[in-house]
Amino acid sequence: MKYKDYYAILGVPRSASLDDIKKAYRKLARAHHPDVSKAPDAEARFKEAAEAYATLKDSAKRAAYDELGHPAAGADFRPPPQWQQDFAPGGMAFEDLDLADLLAAMGRGQRTGPQRAMPIKGHDYESEVTITLEDARHGTTVNLTLADGAGERTLQVTIPPGACQNQKLRLRGQGGKGRNGGPDGDIYLQIRLAPHAVFRPDRHDLYFDLILSPWEAALGAEVEVPTLEKPVLLTVPPGTRAGRKLRLRGRGLAPEHSDLYAIVHIDVPATLSTRERELFQELAQVSSFKPRAA
């Protein structure tokens, strides 16, 4: 078994107080936490510090660790024979364990022997999957590949219809294997929606831009609009103003309780024919519409 110098990892003397140990750990955790640091070795350094702290903050574990003396870091050493009987889970050989496993077993109160080992729940996994809006509306099946202690495995997971951005699913019992009769862990699967060329999701509703000509907006029109299924005819009421939201009921991501909204934008021709110019000029003369009036 390789010795790890937990004091050196935390950068504290062997006589450090619990307060000093806690401060040193928090400083390292703040610097190397994977949510904070982008350094390639951040996660490894964070885990190393967490392992050291898990032992040194617990007076019983720290005393047991101190019993080992002070071999050089990385040096092979053999724990006291009594530890085999007291802590090695399931009577495992020391060679199959590392120092962290052994000290963790001590924390679970295994000193009375493996026959009274506490049940331990398997590891939970966090994963995410990206699906299209069409798959979110209709439901789909995705292959989820996980790498754990048992090797690589692929699960076929059914995503029910009506998924939305950042929705989380819990896949019960599909995580790491439990030990000593403990339950298997779970998988927490976060759903991401792939960007779509036309539609923008907001929870279960969808939005898209509907560009109208000035006369369509003023007079009303029937226009063909896209949906996640086939295009449909949308009635634009007369006097529709820019920014108005026109609803297509039940056309969102969850067919039963979500909608598709067309957001109206009004565009004008960049260039006008002579006749178009004449008509617009005539309209300008006869119209009483004052868009900037209070």
Partner 1 sequence: MTHAMIESFSLDTPEVVTLTELADYCGMSPADLDELMGYNALQPLPDTAPDFIFSAHWVVPLRAVAKLRMDFDLDLFTVAILLEKLRQIALLERQVQSLQALVPFHLRQT
| Residue in 50, 68, 223, 246 binding partner 1, rule: CB under 8 A | 50
Is position 110 an interface residue for partner 1 (rule: CB under 8 A)? Answer: no
Nearest-approach distance from CB 203 to partner 1, in angstroms: 8
| 56 is an interface residue for partner 1 by CB under 8 A | no
In the complex, the smallest distance separating the C-beta of residue 101 from partner 1, rounded to whole angstroms, is: 18
Closest to partner 1 by CB, 88 or 163 = 163
Site string (129-148) toward partner 1, x via CB under 8 A: --------------x-----
Q: What are phi and psi of 280, to 5 degrees?
A: -65, -40
Nearer CB in complex with partner 1: 42/68 = 42
Contact call for residue 265 and partner 1 (CB under 8 A): yes
Asked if 277 is part of the footprint of partner 1 (rule: CB under 8 A), the reply reads no
Minimum gap (Å) between residue 25 Cβ and partner 1: 7
Residue 188 binds partner 1, judged by CB under 8 A? yes
Number of residues that bind partner 1 (CB under 8 A): 42
CA distance 81 to 106: 15
Contact string (CB under 8 A) for partner 1, positions 16-45, x = contact: ------x--xx--xx--x------------
User: Could you list the residues that contact partner 1 (CB under 8 A)?
Assistant: 22, 25-26, 29-30, 33, 46, 50, 53, 57, 121, 124, 143, 153-160, 165, 167-172, 174, 186, 188-189, 200-203, 205-207, 209, 263, 265
